[in-house]
Structure 1
Amino acid sequence: MKPSQPSARPAAGGRERAAAVRGTPAARPPQQRTPVDGPPPAVRRPPAPPAVVPAPCSPQDRDRLLAGTHHDPHGVLGAHPVDDGLVIRALRPHARSVTVVAEGLRAELHDDGDGLFSGRLPAPAGGAVPAYRLLVGYDGGTHDTEDAYRFLPALGDLDLHLIGEGRHEELWKALGAHPMTHQGVTGTRFTVWAPNALGVRVTGTFNFWDGTGFPMRSLGGTGVWELFVPAVGEGELYKFEITRPDGTRTLRADPMARRTECPPATASVITTSQYRWGDQEWLAGRGERPAHEAPFSVYEVHLASWRPGLTYRQLAEQLPAYVAELGFTHVELMPVAEHPFGGSWGYQVTGFYAPTARLGTPDDFRYLVDSLHRAGIGVIMDWVPAHFPRDAWALAEFDGRPLYEHPDPRRAAHPDWGTLEFDLGRREVRNFLVANAVYWCEEFHIDGLRVDAVASMLYLDYSREDGQWTPNERGGRENLDAVAFLQEMNATVYRRVPGVVTIAEESTAWDGVTRATHHVGPSGFGGLGFGLKWNMGWMHDSLQYMAHDPVHRAYHHDEITFSMVYAYSENYVLPISHDEVVHGKRSLVSKMPGDWWRQRADLRAYLGFMWAHPGKQLLFMGQEFAQGAEWSEAHGPDWWLLDPSYGAAADHRGVRELVGDLNAVYRRTPALWERDTSPDGFRWVLADGAADNVLAFLRFDAEGTPLLAVCNFSPVARDGYRVGVPEEVPAWAEVLNTDAERYGGGGVCGAGPLKPEPRPWHGHPASLCLTLPPLATVWLTPA
């Protein structure tokens, strides 16, 4: 038993007296006393602290560490076995002391000055470097921490090999900031591609934005720098401090950051996703039909201004229900990747891997996409690989030299937008963008990418005068690097993420935008591999036709019919996008001539024509209810126009009801979408009715079932207007009339099923005698 009084202890022997003199605790007596004539009890001495001998690094290493230009700080800092022991060095600016602590080891390192500490210790038992910790003393206390420089690289050789070859299709998993457990310790691995840098440090809230003690190591010839920092995790802010080739320093946001601060702040944020998806049923069914053979009507949305002030999660409570009520199959989100200037609408991106923090976290954005999917609505996202802004904290001359941009200033500067163009001939830059396309589809379940400004990528002379560009190796104006990039991007996305669609905003007649990449066209190039292409020609010509007063439309009839000359050259989307309702172009209804009644009637007739025309449909927010003002990102659509207390609300509600009915009939009528890309799905009935401002055509589904569309773009009602039809249809019924009273029209509608007469007309063996409402489109199907 333990004695309770000092007098209970045996008289101190020689060993105990010696221990007392040395200042070490005397040994406790054993639980059972030793016989008097037995040997004295064994006394265990605590180990003596090892003698610490300074082991400073070389002057060259010291200078490079302090200047932030060391490519291998792990080779100097941390623990390193030597012939006669173990050398440990640490770089801890502002520290008063650094003590190494391990099992059976406690040694205070020598202060070498300028935050450097070192010591040469006796060789550890077995020769292995112990799993030590550092006690770092500051004026305000002592910090117990792991040493970041005792860890092996946390990035694998295969990752580095794929990065070096520009073929890492999951690049976001290799580069950036990743919370993880490494060698049994939790922390964050930081990696960044900066091949021209003399040195890179990581800095953030976890080191009070002083990166001096956090230099990163260069991993071979890949240009990748890496550092595993223990005890740093979710929510911390960070940037990379890069020493440029000229010795100056620059502080940069992480190009691979998956979360950012809310602009105007520019730091990157460490993040991991905890989101659990609930859209498995949607994902399983979205690839049943290719997009060009499926119903595909799109509502284009600028999230920040659809209902200003709403977050991603608040939008998820309102947007899916609204879009579902209108019957659109998809939404298209204007760019959601992080961008510093809200007035760019997201088209000048600095954070290609981060949803904008203006509306919430990345998981909040996942929640919005998930909610749309669970409502049966697909999600298309605008994607901007053509250019990026020049902000000094982002991609421009990222490591002191042109890196993401082309090294030739003439190729790098975008002439229209004051931005920089990507160097698509550099394999690492192509990899950055190809992986980014995959990232949005895989990590956020995006169903399609609408690729912005493709034409500006495809042509070396885009918006450039003679002498401002250099022909390609074939002597032409085509940007061969851009062609190869777009082909690679499309092929990779379609291979990795079945069921998605890529859509090109391409405003020229480039051959084969939606042709397969392995099919070579007359130009000698393979197809670009897109699924769909915006039909900018249709948009321009048809809007120009509608802008004419009806009395003049007879002289411009070809503007409304010319699109059918090339309708099957690509797989088209018919876009009435944000670009058409800003910058003085006026809203869609305001483009129409005449008084308010005629403007609305023209708009309804135009929408009926648009939904019946071969191709998919896209309509920008606010146009579905005939907003009269141009769109403004500051206040969004004029929702007050739908308020019943507003006197003209019925006019706007009528147009919105028409859009809902257009989508409803469209979705249940395969003739309007099943053969969009086949000439067999369309037949003119009346293409040359210029004098009457009338056109009529048939659409057919895969089984030959027709829909008849008749458009009267004259303000005159036409009674007894004869239109040729196939003889095999015994009766026709009106399924949509844009002049219906509930849409705000005059109510000139057909009555009951119409039986064709055996009277040849317009090249058909039979004909219908119709009453055409003024400024209206009528759809008829077999009764």
Structure 2
Amino acid sequence: MTAHDDRVLDTVATGSYHAPHDVLGLHRTGEDEWIIRARRPLAATVTAKLADGGDVALSHLRSGIWEGRFTATDALPYRLATTYDDGSEHTADDPYRFLPTLGELDLHLIGEGRHEQLWHVLGAHVRVLGDTEGVAFTVWAPNAQAVRVVGDFNGWDGQGHSMRSLGSSGVWEVFAPGLGVGTAYKFEILTRGGQWILKADPMARLAEVPPATASVVTASSYGWNDQEWVANRSTSAPHAQPMSVYEVHLGSWRQGLSYRDAADQLIDYVTAQGFTHIEFMPLAEHPFGGSWGYQVSGYYAPTSRFGDPDDLRYLIDRLHQAGLGVIMDWVPGHFPKDAFALARFDGEPLYEHADPRRGEHRDWGTYIFDYGRSEVRNFLVANALYWFEEFHIDGLRVDAVASMLYLDYSREPGEWAPNIHGGRENLEAIGFLQEVNATSYRRFPGIAMIAEESTSFPGVTAPTDQGGLGFGFKWNMGWMNDSLQYIKRDPMYRAHHEGELSFSFVYAFSENYVLPISHDEVVHGKGSLFGRMPGDHWQKLANMRAYLAYMWGHPGKQLLFMGQEFGQISEWAEGRSLDWWLLDQPAHAELHAFTANLNRVYRDNAPLWQRDHDAAAFVRLAGPAFNPNVIAFARTDDAGDTVAVICNFSGVPVHGFELDLPQAGTWREVLNSDAQAFGGSGVGNLGAVQAADGGRASMVLPPLGVLWLRRDR
């Protein structure tokens, strides 16, 4: 051995060599000549047991590296039998006799940022190579000098499981025989600065239950039973379907439920309430429960707080079989700085942008993805596809899109760098959003990509081939802020602020909107929706019913955060269950029943959802006298049926109110938020309103009440 060879052997012995398979394992040295090298520190003897029954005795070279030679026509599988000074003997497969588990096409697609099923090749996967079962570990760490796998299988000492670099791809790989599902592991990375750092697997599909942070090998054995749902979804258009979404924080809806426990309870409850979809706040793994899942450490791992990935599959499968759609919050805008996760993954900025003016959210204490790097963009695009393919979800609500679109988001002058054109738009992030939307819709027709976007950025829901971002829906934050500002006012003063309710009609069809009353509106001192309502307890409940009826009648889909359907009084806190005891109070039980009836009537009346995004299907209604406390409009479906929505936000009934309805005839009262059955005063029109020729009708408007009138054919 030369001095150079000795240095290489010493580096291999400590698991610090970038190409351990070049030294260890089986190598041809001549036409029929072979050499086996193995790392077996502290061994007394090492023997290679060949598949043909022959034995090859290995001799110690240095630093625990052993070597033996033999002749054979072809390469032979082998196992290593090792004895120790205490007389013990151990026989095992050698990780370094196996070829790479990634092919050249996979590496090419990874390098190009076009591997749409990235989770199939990176991470940890149970594989059978020949007749040997084990786990193939792969990780992208292009700045690393060396990478080792550590875990409960090697005493968290990775010197015997160093990975090979697969060249310019930046991918590292090793196959560890004998391992299987349930193995806990991490990657130990030697940085360019010479430090070893310990990292969870970015592609892990399961993690330990927090606060533990190791990744866990998993494999799915789940058999789906939602084929009919998925087939119907692929031929449907969400825009032309009813969509009333119940937003759920799984950990606090009812505390202590697992994914499987929640299935029956959520199905029974949400079905009875009449919602069409459940939207889960983020279920990807996150270290701190108080972040509600919005600081993600494991993008491919459903949080293990509630069970394993197949348990989540069971929950979604059951929801689909019950006719409920499933939307999940997705957070590609930023990630936490926890040392065990994505931050400075291989010792240098990798997933995050290297320039802190583009790579950090100071307000949130998080890093921002480098959307211009092909591998990072691939990581995120494939992650969206992963949730659609592996978990059959029906939509992703993309968090904090505004923070991604603008380079100066929450930054003072001098704290941001302009784009190549000198503008404030983040061109790389825009390109990423267009790619993830176009790819998701191409691969999974009928799903919904939903943007939480709070600015006037144009074309959020316009198709990508027309220069839009390509989302299916956008949260209408303007409507939310204006309407909440209006509804909290004392009815005495609302007449001066009619525009806070009606301005949304001006732009209601500029995007495909969802009207959200989300978790963000019931935290951080804002109190509950019920708590914002003015007046005494009865008036608060009447305002709640009126506001929800106006919201459900307004163009756009609806989203309501859990607890508001029965008038939760206290502000939401993730550390405790909802105040279910309120349902023992008759007044709140009546509001609960009203929400269920609201959803039922909404679903039964296509004018309220079929043409949500068509301005031609909407008209403001007026009469001979203007009342600034009354907001009235009508909506029409494809069959020509019409529903009129008349809202009286004053605290007194209005008798003899004249309104010009779209057509003459009998207009049935399909909803009255002031009905006695729901705790109201019972003011109404005996179930119907007659409109004369020209559509003029006289009616009674209940106080703090909303009427839905449907014209008889």
Mapped pair 1:215 → 2:191: no
Shift of 1:692: 4.7
Deviations 1:290-326 (A, max 9, x none): 1111111100000111110000000012101111111
Looking at structure 2, the residues matched to 631 and 752 of structure 1 have their Cα atoms a distance apart, in angstroms, of 38
Letter matched to residue 690 of structure 2: K
Looking at structure 1, the residues matched to 82 and 622 of structure 2 have their Cα atoms a distance apart, in angstroms, of 86
Match of 1:507 in 2: 454
Shift of 1:377: 0.2
Deviations 1:189-218 (A, max 9, x none): 110000000011111111111100111111
Letter matched to residue 650 of structure 1: P
Residue number among 474, 483, 486 corresponding to 2:430 in the alignment: 483
**Which runs of structure 2 are paired with 1:639-678 in the superposition (5 Å)?**
639-643=580-584, 649-678=585-614
Verify the 8 A CA contact 1:405 1:412 in the aligned structure 2.
yes
Mapped pair 1:553 → 2:499: no
Mapped pair 1:777 → 2:712: no
Shift of 1:756: 1.4
Mapped pair 1:615 → 2:615: no
Match of 2:689 in 1: 754
Distance 1:140 1:744, change over 3 A: farther
Residue number among 90, 115, 124 corresponding to 2:38 in the alignment: 90
Does the residue aligned with 2:346 lie in a helix, a strand or coil? coil
Does the residue aligned with 2:699 lie in a helix, a strand or coil? strand
Verify the 8 A CA contact 1:151 1:183 in the aligned structure 2.
no
209-218 or 58-67, which deviates more: 58-67
Shift of 1:766: 2.3
Deviations 1:107-146 (A, max 9, x none): 3322334332223x2323x2x2321110123447322111
Verify the 8 A CA contact 1:730 1:756 in the aligned structure 2.
yes
Deviations 1:706-764 (A, max 9, x none): 1011101011011111111133x421110100111121111112214332133xxxxxx
Match of 1:132 in 2: 78
Match of 1:741 in 2: 676
Does the residue aligned with 1:438 lie in a helix, a strand or coil? helix
Does the residue aligned with 1:456 lie in a helix, a strand or coil? helix
Shift of 1:57: 8.7
Shift of 1:705: 1.2
Match of 2:287 in 1: 340
Mapped pair 1:367 → 2:314: yes
Shift of 1:242: 0.5
Match of 1:726 in 2: 662
Match of 1:117 in 2: 66
**Which runs of structure 2 are paired with 1:200-211 in the superposition (5 Å)?**
200-211=147-158
131-140 or 157-166, which deviates more: 131-140
**Which runs of structure 2 are paired with 1:368-517 in the superposition (5 Å)?**
368-517=315-464
Deviations 1:515-545 (A, max 9, x none): 00011xxxxxx10000000000000000000
Residue number among 161, 169, 193 corresponding to 2:108 in the alignment: 161
Does the residue aligned with 2:700 lie in a helix, a strand or coil? strand
Computing the radius of gyration from Cα coordinates, the structure with the larger value is 1
Does the residue aligned with 2:293 lie in a helix, a strand or coil? coil
Shift of 1:245: 0.5
Mapped pair 1:585 → 2:534: no
Distance 1:690 1:506, change over 3 A: farther
TM-score, normalization: structure 1?
Answer: 0.89
Does the residue aligned with 1:754 lie in a helix, a strand or coil? strand
Residue number among 466, 479, 482 corresponding to 1:541 in the alignment: 482
Match of 2:202 in 1: 255
Does the residue aligned with 1:207 lie in a helix, a strand or coil? coil
Residue number among 195, 214, 232 corresponding to 1:285 in the alignment: 232
Residue number among 539, 544, 549 corresponding to 1:603 in the alignment: 544
Looking at structure 1, the residues matched to 267 and 88 of structure 2 have their Cα atoms a distance apart, in angstroms, of 54
Shift of 1:67: 4.3
Shift of 1:59: 1.4
Looking at structure 2, the residues matched to 491 and 631 of structure 1 have their Cα atoms a distance apart, in angstroms, of 36
TM-score, normalization: structure 2?
Answer: 0.97
Shift of 1:93: 3.6
Verify the 8 A CA contact 1:57 1:76 in the aligned structure 2.
no
Unaligned runs of at least 5 residues, structure 1: 1-53, 520-525, 644-648, 759-764
Distance 1:619 1:687, change over 3 A: farther
Unaligned runs of at least 5 residues, structure 2: none
Distance 1:689 1:528, change over 3 A: farther
Letter matched to residue 696 of structure 2: S
Verify the 8 A CA contact 1:56 1:118 in the aligned structure 2.
no
Shift of 1:106: 2.1
Shift of 1:81: 2.4
Looking at structure 1, the residues matched to 381 and 441 of structure 2 have their Cα atoms a distance apart, in angstroms, of 12
Looking at structure 1, the residues matched to 252 and 3 of structure 2 have their Cα atoms a distance apart, in angstroms, of 59
Mapped pair 1:303 → 2:237: no
Deviations 1:543-599 (A, max 9, x none): 000111111111111101000111011000000000000111110111111111111
Deviations 1:598-632 (A, max 9, x none): 11101100000000000000000000000100111
Distance 1:94 1:211, change over 3 A: farther
Looking at structure 1, the residues matched to 340 and 46 of structure 2 have their Cα atoms a distance apart, in angstroms, of 34
Does the residue aligned with 1:686 lie in a helix, a strand or coil? coil
Looking at structure 1, the residues matched to 215 and 615 of structure 2 have their Cα atoms a distance apart, in angstroms, of 51
Does the residue aligned with 2:498 lie in a helix, a strand or coil? helix
Shift of 1:327: 0.8
**Which runs of structure 2 are paired with 1:101-116 in the superposition (5 Å)?**
101-102=49-50, 103-116=52-65
Shift of 1:98: 2.0
Shift of 1:184: 2.9
Looking at structure 1, the residues matched to 667 and 428 of structure 2 have their Cα atoms a distance apart, in angstroms, of 53
Letter matched to residue 708 of structure 1: A
Does the residue aligned with 1:286 lie in a helix, a strand or coil? helix
Letter matched to residue 203 of structure 1: V
> In the comparison of the two structures, how many residue pairs are matched?
709
Looking at structure 2, the residues matched to 533 and 373 of structure 1 have their Cα atoms a distance apart, in angstroms, of 24
Distance 1:107 1:122, change over 3 A: closer
